[in-house]
Structure formats: structure tokens, C-alpha cells
Amino acid sequence: MKCTICKTGETHPGTTTVTLQRDNSVVVIRDVPAEICENCGEYYLSEPTASRVYADADATAKRHVEVEIQRYAA
Ligand SMILES: [Zn+2]
């Protein structure tokens, strides 16, 4: 699909690192499947992937972990 950020690049399937902040927690999730813009590097997560990543971030925040690095496991 066409990137909606830079409006010139095309996106391609790949993996990215997603960093999310929740209250005082920072969650870094590596190897997340995403569509990535060849031009600006913006990533787009599918709906199920995004839900899963946000749920992981919420769970980490509830444990009051300050920084956590995870690997996305499908
Ligand atoms: Zn782009």
C-alpha cells in the first residue's frame, strides 16, 4: 500500500521494533511483523498485531516494570 505519512513510498512486509510507553513503563517489542515504508521507514501494524502489542504493553505496565524488551512471538 502507499505510505500515508510521506505519501511517496510503498510499504513492504517486514519486521520492526515497536516502542510503547505506558505510565512509567517503556516496552520495546522486537521482530513485530509489519508493513514498512521503503521511503520513510514508517511502519503499519495489522489490527490483530496492534491489539496484541498494546495488550503486552498494558500487561507490562501493570507489573510496574520500568523497561522491558520483548520479542514478538506469533
Ligand atoms: Zn513513507
Average pLDDT per consecutive 10 residues, the chain (74 residues; last block may be shorter): 97 97 94 98 97 94 94 85
For ligand 1, an ion, list residues with CB under 5 A: 3, 5-6, 9, 37, 39-40, 42
pTM of the model: 0.87
Give the whole-angstrom CA distance, residue 35 versus residue 23.
27
Reduced to 3 states (helix: H, G, I; strand: E, B; else coil), residue 5 is coil
pLDDT of residue 23: 85
Domain boundaries, the chain: 11-71
pLDDT of residue 73: 83
Q: What's the sign of the alpha-carbon dihedral 31, 37, 41, 47?
A: negative
pLDDT of residue 29: 97
Cβ-contact 32, 47 below 8 angstroms = no
> What CATH code would you report for 11-71?
3.10.20
pLDDT of residue 74: 66
In the reported structure, the alpha carbon of residue 1 is separated from the centroid of ligand 1 by a whole-number distance in angstroms of 10
In the reported structure, the alpha carbon of residue 8 is separated from the centroid of ligand 1 by a whole-number distance in angstroms of 6
